[in-house]
Structure 1
């Protein structure tokens, strides 16, 4: 099931062998901003991006939000690796700075939508970050089995001037989970606003 989704594509989570995906990871990797002085010296400015996950019921009510202030959902299905406040200060190490894991087998039955969003905590423009990539994959934080969707937000012109985005939404239809690779920047400044934007526009 080699899939690399383009923005806006939708897939079901049924695998070729008939089984259904159980464990999903959303990883974000980014770098510190380089600033050059008029004398030519270069300094690094830490970048604090925040990956978060919001759970909604069928009526689009928010049931739970997993973020740097709450690292685990009430049902234990969603777990956050913890807050990274700086990004890669010494260049791209190829590793995800923050990872959110989702175990579908543990999700509360009344959860109908699972949305993943990204916010720039200090309001640093996505375009100013030297590299920032997102991957949504099957596996664990230490083992990537299959990548579904990747986004390079530092290189995408449509992310310029934005500090928030919707990465993707898992949704339940006729009892089966499917995935919508959204990949859209939003005008929000805070996580609470992005959670509301998802409810209004992406569920």
Structure 2
């Protein structure tokens, strides 16, 4: 049974059978914006380019690496991005993640203590105008879901209206074990570089 994460909730990364997660995927699924045609006739679709990104930090909160559409793999290969989706779901929610970041937790460098996930609207489209956008954490690969660990709805909140960037959540290592902090906070940032700084200053 997946846990529906609430803002600020912290969870341990443990499967229902008690074993620890090894390969964790963070998937983002979102829809294109629907707009009514001229004089209210018909509906047109406006492509939405959301960008999921991942930043690695050491225990001193120093930035180690950033994985995003322009850098699809971490230096050591433990974090991989599925690639850039430029449109979102054009024909309604197909239930399939548009972008997936895969983290091999045991493969992360020993120096990495934080793995932060961010979402940016590349064209500056307001989150409040996007019909749906959700995050899910699961064990498996971008094409195979073994067990959904948690789901987190990041669209249906008035808090996101007027924003084009957000911090989704942070994996953090405590006493040698990985845990997850569901942050789900919109930020005033316009670009990924700014969001990384916001994470560094406020969420580690």
Task: Tell me the TM-score normalised to structure 1 length.
Answer: 0.93
Any idea what the Cα deviations from partners look like across 1:91-131, whole Å, max 9, x if unmatched? 22111110000001210111010001100000000111122
| Alpha-carbon distance in 1 for matches of 2:17, 2:155 | 36
After superposition, residues 143-154 of structure 1 pair within 5 angstroms as 143-154=144-155
Partner SS state of residue 200, structure 1: helix
Equivalent residue, structure 1, for 2:3: 3
Q: Alignment partner of 2:183: what SS? A: coil
> What are structure 2's unaligned runs of at least 5 residues?
none
Matched residue, 1:13: 13
Contact 1:128 1:154 in 2 (8 A): no
Alpha-carbon RMSD across the aligned residues, in angstroms, is: 1.6
- Deviation, structure 1 residue 177: 1.1
Contact (CA 8 Å) 2:120, 2:166: kept in 1 or not?
A: yes
1:12 Cα shift? 1.7
Between structures 1 and 2, the one with greater strand share: 2
- Superimposed CA distance per residue, residues 48-72 of structure 1 (whole angstroms, 9 cap, x where no aligned partner): 0000000000111110000000000
Preserved contact between residue 4 and residue 152 of structure 2 (Cα < 8 Å):
no
Aligned residues, how many? 203
Distance in 1 (CA, whole Å) between partners of 2:148 and 2:69 is 24
* CA distance in 1 between partners of 2:23 and 2:52 (Å): 17
When normalised by structure 2's length, the TM-score is 0.93
- Secondary structure at 1:115's aligned position in 2? strand
Please tell me whether the aligned partners of residues 52 and 68 of structure 1 are also in contact (alpha carbons under 8 angstroms).
yes
Query: Cα distance, 1:14 vs. partner?
Result: 3.7
Secondary structure (helix, strand or coil) at the match of 1:112 reads strand
Tell me the equivalent position of 1:138. Answer: 139
Unaligned runs of 5+ in 1: none
User: Does structure 2 retain, via aligned residues, the 8 Å contact 1:14–1:21?
Assistant: yes
Q: 2:155 & 2:14 partners in 1: Cα distance?
A: 31
The answer on 1:43 being equivalent to 2:44 is yes
Distance 2:202 2:107 in 1: 27
Deviation at 1:185, TM superposition (A): 0.9
Q: Aligned pair in 2 of structure 1 residues 16, 32: CA closer, same or farther (>3 Å)? A: closer
**Alignment map for 1:50-199 (pairs within 5 Å):** 50-199=51-200
* Cα distance, 1:15–1:87 mapped onto 2, change above 3 Å: closer
